[in-house]
Each structure stands twice: as C-alpha cells, then as structure tokens.
Amino acid sequence: MWRAGSVRAALVMSVALLVGACGASVVPDTENAAPRHGGSVTVGLEGSWVSLDPLRATTYNSFSVLQTIYEPLFDLDRNGAAVPNLATGYEVSPDGRIYTVTLRDGVTFHDGARFDARAVVANFDRVRNPANGCSCLGELRVLEGVRATGDTTVEFRLKRPHAGFPVMVLGGAAGLMASPRALAETGGDLARRPVGTGPFVLDHEVPGSSVRVRAWDGYRDPGRPYLDSVEFRVISDSDSRYSSLTSTAIDVADNVSVTWLSDAELNPSVRIHPQGASGSNFVMFQTGEGSPFRDARARQAACMALDPPRIDEALYRGVRLTGQESPFPTGGGRWDLGRVEGYPRYDRERARRLVAEVGGISFDLNFTNSPDNVRVAQALAAQWAVVGIEARVRPMDQPTLVEKAFGHRFDAMIYRWRGAMDPDGNVSRWFHSSQATPAKPSSNYNLVDDPELDRLMMQAAAVTEPGERAERYRAVSERLAGITPYCYLWGADWYRVTLANVHGIPSRPDNIMMLRDAYVVE
C-alpha cells in the first residue's frame, strides 16, 4: 500500500477541498480478500486509445485497452525484463543475430483461428509492411526476416545484434498478436473488428469516448479473467477523474495528478498505486525545414530560458523529479545518466543572446487540453517571454496532438513518453534518420537527421554488458544534447488510484494497466 509522508507534507489540501473530495459513501477495505469471479470495473482514462488496431498503438491508453483484447509474445517482469507470454522462451545464436522463439501450443484466437508460427509470421509481415504505417516501424528497422521453422517455432533474423529485441519488438506493439483469419476477412481493419487471444473480447465502442470489453470464456487460462466486463471512459481532466472515483462513478482513475495524493492518502475508500517512473515530460521542437526551431541555437535558447524546478515548485510543491538532461529519466535506475555534457541548462542571459543571434523566436506551443497542461504551458510561456521568446499556447485533444506529432506538423509541443524498458527504445525510434520522413508520418517526430547519432545508437544497441551500455548511451546523450530536440521538464511519474475493493492490477515499470487478474470484492 502507498505510503508517502513527504508527499503528505508537501501537498496539504485545504479543509474545504478535503471534505468535498471525501464526501462519497465509504467503500470497504478488502485488502486481504481472496480473488473472486464476477463483477465489473469502470476505468477513467486521461485520453483516448486512438484505435483498437495494434498498428496504431502510441499511448499509455492505447496499450492499456489493447492488452485486454490482444496479448504479446513476451511480457515484462517487475524489472522490465522479457518473460514468456504467448511465447514460452527463446534462444539466441552466438553472433546475436538469430532469435529462435518457441510458442505455446493449443492457444486459439477469439474467432477460433489457431495461434501458431504461421500466425506470428502473418502478424510480422503486416507490421513490417511500410504501407501499413505501424507506429512500431522504428523498432523493426533491425529485423531482416521472419520465418516459421515448425508449428510452434519462429526464427527472427536481425541485421545486427540488438540486446533489446525481446523487450522492444517481441514484447512491444509488433508483438501483439491478431487473428490472421480476422486480418483476411476484414482486409486488415482491426479497428473495426479487433480479434486477439486476450482475456476479453470487444463488446461495444464509442470512438474517443468509451469502450467496453467482456470476459472471453475460451481464454487459455480457464481461471481468468475474474471480471465479467471492463469499461474504459475518457475523462481528460485529472481533477474530474479523481472526483469521479471518490463519488464511485468509476472504480479506477488512471494517472491522477500529484496534487491529489495527500487527499487520497487520507481517504479510506481509495488506494494509491504508484507506477514506474521510466518516462519523461518534455518540450519537443520541430527541426525540419520551415520550422522556427530549424536553427539549433533557437532550440538551445528555448531550453536555457526554462527553469523546471521553479515551475515544479509553483505547480506541484516541488515533488516532481526534475534535473533530467538525457532521454533516460532522473530516478530511472541504472540508465539514469545524471548531468550530461553539453545540455543547455538554465541561463537566461545566454538565452537572450541566442534569441538576438537568430533574429527572434515566435512559435505555436501544442499540448493536450487538460487543466494541468494548461498551467504548465502558461508557466513555460511566461519564462520564455522573459528572454524575448513568444509562445502562443495551442491546447487540443490527445488524438489530434498525437496525429500532429506523427505528421511532423508542429513548431513545439509539450509531450510525454512513457519510457522504454530497454534504453534503445528511448532513442532509436525517435531520432534515427531512417524515420526522418517529412512527407510521411513516423516516430521521428522532430525529423532529426544526424548520421553520427545513428552510428552511436547502433553501437549502443548491440552491447549487452550494463556498464558498457551506460557509457555508450552517455555518448548518445551528449550527441543529443548538442542537437537539442527536447527540453526536459520532469519525469513521467504515474499514480493510479482505485477504490479500496479493487484488487489484482499490478504496478508495472511501463505503467500499462493489465486487467487479466483484476477482481472486485463487494
């Protein structure tokens, strides 16, 4: 159970606010109750799942919804390492370029199609086809070929060794398995007819608003799922998600603002579940032709004008993890690199000089329209204004923001990345030049095109020894510091709050909500 005296001390709410939030009927504390079958839960998400097709999986919300219907070949343990799921294991060739994956036998998809090696090959043929525009293409760049070597064995051939392949590819969006029969019958339109092997099947969807899934009685584990159904609702405002929880309109509030944690600690009807802190909140800049940030000096000036700890103190009472200078967040364990040589730190006088050198900076700042983000955007704009930078705040809904990011249609954007369990996932998919495609959507949002950075990332990805990997990624981070595609704000800390009678939702290093083992006790 959550215990955080420091947060309680830092975030003391007014009595009126506290009483207002806790006015709901008390939900019994059933911490030690055994799992039971039946019941349902309603989950409040901060944004839409974008699509029910794994090809379009880009956000926390997407993966949380999709993994009720689909399952990956490999899952993650608490430390972020790959563990068997639809696959039972893998072997790697001595040169690190061939992964032979063995699969579970006897598994079927919701439509009765067999899960086997041919199904895996069909799924990877689909996601590897550039015409399908998978959000995972950046991770698949290392993959040379896939073939079935038996009914339950698949061989993955890599172009070069890649230490993160099991986690990033086999356990990522590309590893979410869909029915080949459904792919053929729908022409690949899984958004309309999602069919996987997961514990739930689609019941109904109101795109952008809600989606309901119900338990599948043919699931490979006869004892799961416990719940009869799950409904996901989009409640974009964090304050509204929390008040919906305390009024019992929903059972789970995902990503509750840190400003509500002290209230939640004192409310016996709810429980706080801290998630991983492997991600980052940042401002990202478009570096392509025609952008006001085409010149690296403009990007550096924008970073040097910002004082994230001061914003954190004003908005969050200083509880966010600031001080990040690389794609590997502060507090992120062994990949936390700390200070990085060349990163443009807070320096208003130098920022003013750079603004003058480039002839002024004026731009649109895009961000998801939530009260929390509005406050952050206003604080950033105020700090930029001090050095003569004009930022026009442009709030929008999350799907539009993601679409603009993938389409490279922005000047600057407040963004959040949930973080990857392998360090290469925090750099290659975002910055490799092969994904710098101005006329085509890609995960290289910023259109970074730097051959030396490509070389450093490729070298780092091939290394398996942790100490050497850390040094390799320090070199990557120093190169990125000079390019300055991001200004880092703070870590992407994530707090899930549930009613006290909801159990079995594990805390994960990637923050994704897994509901296979969830249950409620009345």
* pLDDT in the model for residue 143: 96
* pLDDT in the model for residue 26: 52
Superfamily of domain 71-186: Dipeptide-binding Protein; Domain 1 (3.90.76.10)
The CATH number of 33-51+198-276+494-520 is: 3.40.190.10
* pLDDT in the model for residue 9: 37
Q: Dump strand ranges (E) for 369-431.
A: 389-396, 412-417
* pLDDT in the model for residue 332: 54
* pLDDT in the model for residue 50: 83
* pLDDT in the model for residue 33: 80
* pLDDT in the model for residue 14: 31
pLDDT digits (tens, 9 = 90+) for 482-510: 999 999 999 877 889 999 999 999 988 78
The structure tokens 């200078």 sit at: 325
d(CA 26, CA 458): 54
Query: CATH 3.10.105.10 residue ranges in the chain?
Result: 280-491
> Which parts of the chain sit beneath pLDDT 50?
1-25
Q: Is 98 helix (H, G, I), strand (E, B) or coil?
A: strand
Tell me the CB-side half-sphere exposure of residue 184, using CA atoms within 13 A: 7
Copy the structure tokens of residue 16: 């009126």
Length of the chain: 522
pLDDT digits (tens, 9 = 90+) for 184-204: 999 888 998 999 999 999 999
* pLDDT in the model for residue 27: 58
* pLDDT in the model for residue 105: 97
DSSP 176: B
**Of residues 474, 492, 489, 491, the one with CA closest to residue 342:** 474
* CATH class of the domain whose range is 280-491: alpha beta
Query: CATH 3.40.190.10 residue ranges in the chain?
Result: 33-51+198-276+494-520
Copy the structure tokens of residue 93: 């060739």
* pLDDT in the model for residue 395: 97
pLDDT digits (tens, 9 = 90+) for 14-29: 323 322 333 344 555 5
Query: CATH 3.90.76.10 residue ranges in the chain?
Result: 71-186
* pLDDT in the model for residue 20: 36
CA distances from 21 to 80, 320, 442, 502 (A): 35, 23, 42, 19
